[in-house]
Structure 1
Amino acid sequence: MEGGRTARAALTDVKTRVDRAAARVREEGTALEAKRTAYESFVRRVAAVPTEPAPSGAPRATATTGAQFRAAATGGDGCRAVRKAFAETVRPHSIADVDDPESLSATIRNELTDAVADALAPATGAAFTPKAKRAVVAEARTQRAGVAVTDRALDREAASLDDAAADVEDVTSWVAAAERTPLSELGFDALRDRHRTLAAHRERCEATVADRQSFLRESTGRSAAVEVGHRALALYLYQGLPVNYPALSAVARLDGVCESCQRAVRAHLVRRA
């Protein structure tokens, strides 16, 4: 229909795009599960670190400056234990895809907060006070919750991809099978039926694109503070692939194949009318 080898190459490309997207989702799912487990381990280890009394004359706590986490430059054994726990649990998963790893303090700052990073910074020699401990544990749990939300968004992305992949498989299988019979061997009625079937497949492609676009406009989360936009997640997931939206591009390419096939069938129908 589209032209033997050209059609087969196009169909292979369509399936490859969807398969690569699905592989990225699986990879990210594995990474998220490992990071969630790492945060759970980090929280347990921090909970086991003994707290230290704040030195006398410590600055009054203020939520805006993070001073509640800092004390005079004494003590620091607890903070060192927390930094070590973070380095051995969360950090490997945070810098796994970074070519030039940042410092431990920078990773703590990026994963947790500026205030927590300042509280744990070795230069301060700060005491690991009960208030500092609560702050570290609370922020780690917040980050763990964020990982859980991202994981749920990833599950929804996988389901959306599965739906698109099922449509792609059905249409590509039909086109591949139809390609085995030259149009010249088909009668007028068979050509007309093929044209109608191709039209139905194109409508299915359009519906798949519409569903996928609608999904990308949505988000997963319990609140604006802990929410993952599906479009942003897709852009992150597929940034290493040739196209930003592999499922959409695959279905669009498949629709193009069906359109080309339709034109070829229509040409035969006109000649025989």
Structure 2
Amino acid sequence: MNQRRDLALQTEVAQARNRVQTERDALDDRASAFETFLDRVSNLAAEGPTSTPPSIAAGAGTQSRISRSGDDGCQRVRTAFDETIRPRSVDDMTGTESLMETIRVELTDDIALALAPTTRTSLTPELKRAIITEAEVGLAEANATRKALHREEAILEAVLETVNDITSWIAESDETPLTALDFDALRRRHQTLARHREECERLAAERQAFLDGTTAHGAQAEVKHRFLVTFIYQELSSDYPVLSAVSRLAAACEECQRAVRAHLVRRV
């Protein structure tokens, strides 16, 4: 196994780990933003309804009535959202996406309509509950993704350790040419390579099982692992760097085994 391929395998997994760490840090900030937003909205005083308003979905499909009087409370909600969630929601704060569009994406169309300055809606108890409910869903989704990323990071650490161990063993073994080994030494090397291949196959099977699974945070949010890893690794050379690395490492071990078997046959 040449040094270039050795480094490529280690780099592939290390790059994946770096991507996970970057995404995890971003999710930590996003979760913190939702928590701060929830605190600020929870502390706002709600106003009673005074007239017939537009309706919004409050939680699980129920319809609430919102008043059309003063909007000081709604302005405070918009400000809180703009200062907490929005910077963690859009890639470029100088871009074209408006504040209300971001609210629509994060908190639903109905809430964005109720909070819009042109709607002149007051912050009624029903609207306040709806905002808190949707923000809690957003926080749950962020926390579920954080948990999944922590699991992914642990997997990458274990895979990187295995890749380093096996590639180091192969590199060290290659320092002694096969022609210098007797039959028993060749047999032991062949057996060790077989164990390394089995380890790669075990990691691949465990990886497939992980990709088919999910991570949940309570009953509000669930993250599908396959979708998550495809998203976070989309800028890497492979959408599945773990499977790519372990399969290439298994193939390298098999290649080494063939070379050892050829020498074993000559010694019989």
- Match status 1:81 vs 2:87: no
- Structure 2's unaligned 5+ residue stretches are none
CA distance in 2, matches of 1:255, 1:62: 53
Q: Where do residues 1-273 of structure 1 align in structure 2 (5 Å cutoff)?
A: 2=1, 7-58=2-53, 68=64, 70-72=66-68, 74-96=69-91, 100=95, 102-221=97-216, 225-273=220-268
Q: Deviations over 1:141-169 (max 9, x none)?
A: 22112211111111222222223223222
| Contact persistence 2:57–2:130 (CA under 8 A) | no
CA distance in 2, matches of 1:83, 1:219: 33
| Contact persistence 2:193–2:253 (CA under 8 A) | yes
CA distance in 1, matches of 2:94, 2:11: 27
CA distance in 2, matches of 1:153, 1:242: 22
- The CA RMSD measured in Å over matched residues stands at 2.4
Cα distance change on mapping 1:176 and 1:150 into 2, 3 Å: same
Partner secondary structure for residue 123 of structure 1: helix
Percent of pairs identical after alignment?
Answer: 46
CA distance in 1, matches of 2:204, 2:57: 51
- Structure 1's unaligned 5+ residue stretches are none
Q: Deviations over 1:110-158 (max 9, x none)?
A: 1111221111112212111121111111211221122111111112222
Partner secondary structure for residue 119 of structure 2: coil
- Give how far 1:52 is off: 3.0
The alignment covers a number of residue pairs equal to: 267
CA distance in 2, matches of 1:69, 1:242: 51
Cα distance change on mapping 1:267 and 1:98 into 2, 3 Å: farther
- Give how far 1:211 is off: 0.9
- Give how far 1:100 is off: 4.7
Cα distance change on mapping 1:111 and 1:69 into 2, 3 Å: farther
**TM-score, L = length of structure 1:** 0.89
| Contact persistence 1:95–1:101 (CA under 8 A) | no
CA distance in 1, matches of 2:10, 2:82: 41
CA distance in 1, matches of 2:181, 2:94: 58
- Give how far 1:65 is off: 8.9
Which is bigger in relative contact order (C-alpha 8 A, separation at least 6)?
A: 1
CA distance in 1, matches of 2:239, 2:79: 38
Partner secondary structure for residue 109 of structure 1: helix
Tell which deviates more after alignment, 12-21 or 89-98.
Answer: 89-98
Partner secondary structure for residue 117 of structure 2: coil
Q: Deviations over 1:214-258 (max 9, x none)?
A: 111111115675211111111112111110110110001111111
| Contact persistence 2:66–2:126 (CA under 8 A) | no
Amino acid at match of 2:10: K
CA distance in 2, matches of 1:177, 1:145: 48
CA distance in 1, matches of 2:247, 2:7: 14
- Give how far 1:213 is off: 0.7
| Contact persistence 1:43–1:137 (CA under 8 A) | yes
CA distance in 1, matches of 2:6, 2:179: 22
| Contact persistence 1:71–1:126 (CA under 8 A) | yes
